[in-house]
Structure 1
């Protein structure tokens, strides 16, 4: 693929979801279409690429289905548990604890299901107005980071593990010491945002998903990852050429663009042939930046859609929180050399 074609497709990938609401709401199919186009303009389809595009999304798509079904069956029990906990724990403590648990297991139950559980919990915590928005944003920061620890968690982790040729627990060993402090901090912030009494709002509506909706969501995830695999393959040589010229510091801050598009997209373009320390810095920047705006990560899209949170409202909380976290992580990375 020549540089002109690559630039046009990249511009469509970056700005299409921002410019057209229909694309933002169907970003998975849009990404698949651009993946096919990039492949046709590049080296074309090969047997190996087709098999890879069909194989890579399978595990996370199956995980989405299984975890969503389990959540549906276990939800009545979750409601009863929260009813008892509301009588024993203050709302800030229960909020922080719930967010931390959801985020910590999201690499197994997937970020999509983690976001659905978060929406349910926000209703059970009887949050309303600005508090509901703030807790949701902080919770999505935590889920986005926690889901990165296995290839099952989210598209970013699936593609990162593939590009870095890591085993199933490879991402955990690479990221866990850096991710868990961020998950804990985001959970504490969510608890602080939730200060108040339980009776200030009625219980929220339950998250309802039919079997068809679950299969449709899994199909969209499959299409999204398949499209990113094709984009990654088509852009690999070009990405290696340009990303290799950027210093670690420049790449860390350049990755804030992932706030405006799903962070898995940049992982698909960037981490080819990177050393693990350099890849870790890039991934951490993408994980944090992905929480700043709604299109930045799948949990944001799911939660904002379920709770009807607008882009500007999300940004008022997400951008300051993300910039503070980026600054702290950057300082720690520099201090540790």
Structure 2
């Protein structure tokens, strides 16, 4: 890869990181912006192929259909869902309800998928009828928790599926519970932490609760189409930037690899895992790499599919997301770096 290509790809990364916070038009049309950057990145690296085009069009189908169908189902059964959540809230209180629902949902995400978990989180946040500021807070912390919980099995999200597949042979022989065995002692406390943080809101009085109107079919379809474009953009973006990751991130020492993977804030973590994970890595290297990808995936909206789905549902802007996510996310990432640096890999195999 030539120096010119490296410089151009680096510029694209900078644009993806900073323009959504400084240009209103970019913030408003984030999906289209990332789609354009994806096209540019692939063009610069000369990575176009019919296989890539086909993948870009097929990869978003399952996710978009899940968003569409689940949205329609929640629209139909919204009353039942609302009564169930309000019953729990009445019995144990608002903040304990948030903790219990976010924690349980995040663990379930490893079975029902992060996509479905994110959609359920949206309905929970809508039913609780919080202020917009508190709603954003619950959503952001909930997406952090879901992003962590979903990695425990290959069913949860593409990241875990790819890692398990790439490490299926020697020496790791990764099976269904490989990631659970490797990461559970890091993931479960993290999920609990974000669940508790999600409940740090200004508890409203009943009289101040705002009425939440049911979404129209048009709104649900529009959100599904935006998610389709977003995922397509991430496929192209990831393919275009993979060569940059391969010549930079992969050559870093363990500690630097951890912090360099905070690029997962704008680049799909499954794409990074596909480029970086190799069977010759030790379990400790894999822990460093995966925890960095998992935590930093919550930093910004493009970092994870749950973020994209929830931000689209509640029309959360990039600045609003980052205001809640970055301070907490960076602190948690630093905490995990310290823990990973001092805790040896347990004998689990």
Normalising by structure 2, we get a TM-score of 0.75
1:240 deviation in Å? Answer: 1.5
1:136 aligns with 2:139: yes
Within the candidate set 97, 101, 105, 1:102 is matched to 105
Match of 2:171 in 1: none
C-alpha distance in 1 between matches for 2:258 and 2:194: 20
Match of 2:234 in 1: 228
Match of 1:272 in 2: 275
1:313 deviation in Å? Answer: 5.4
1:63 aligns with 2:59: no
Match of 2:191 in 1: 183
1:321 deviation in Å? Answer: 1.8
CA contact (8 A) 2:66 2:116 kept: no
Match of 2:347 in 1: none
Residues 302-323 of structure 1: CA deviation (Å, up to 9, x unaligned): 5456556665555454333213
Structure 2 residue matching 1:83: 3-state secondary structure:
helix
Within the candidate set 124, 127, 130, 1:127 is matched to 130
1:286 aligns with 2:293: yes
1:187 deviation in Å? Answer: 0.9
Match of 1:174 in 2: 179
Residues 224-283 of structure 1: CA deviation (Å, up to 9, x unaligned): 333433444444344222112211211222333544x3x41x652564142364354333
C-alpha distance in 2 between matches for 1:36 and 1:111: 27
Q: Which structure 2 residue ranges, 5 or more long, are not aligned?
A: 169-173, 345-349
C-alpha distance in 2 between matches for 1:152 and 1:22: 36
CA contact (8 A) 1:290 1:296 kept: yes
Structure 2 residue matching 1:88: 3-state secondary structure:
helix
Residues 41-92 of structure 1: CA deviation (Å, up to 9, x unaligned): 3335334333333443333333333333333333221111123223311222
Query: Aligned-pair RMSD on alpha carbons?
Result: 3.7
Match of 1:158 in 2: 158
CA contact (8 A) 2:147 2:294 kept: yes
Match of 2:337 in 1: 330
CA contact (8 A) 2:264 2:272 kept: no
Q: Which structure 1 residue ranges, 5 or more long, are not aligned?
A: none
1:184 deviation in Å? Answer: 1.8
Structure 2 residue matching 1:127: 3-state secondary structure:
coil
1:24 aligns with 2:47: no
C-alpha distance in 1 between matches for 2:235 and 2:277: 17
Match of 1:11 in 2: 11
CA gap of 1:242–1:249, structure 2 versus 1, over 3 A, is same
1:248 aligns with 2:254: yes
C-alpha distance in 2 between matches for 1:124 and 1:44: 45
CA contact (8 A) 1:107 1:148 kept: yes
Aligned residues: 329
CA gap of 1:269–1:123, structure 2 versus 1, over 3 A, is closer
C-alpha distance in 2 between matches for 1:172 and 1:3: 42
CA contact (8 A) 1:110 1:152 kept: yes
Structure 1 residue matching 2:277: 3-state secondary structure:
coil
Structure 2 residue matching 1:208: 3-state secondary structure:
coil
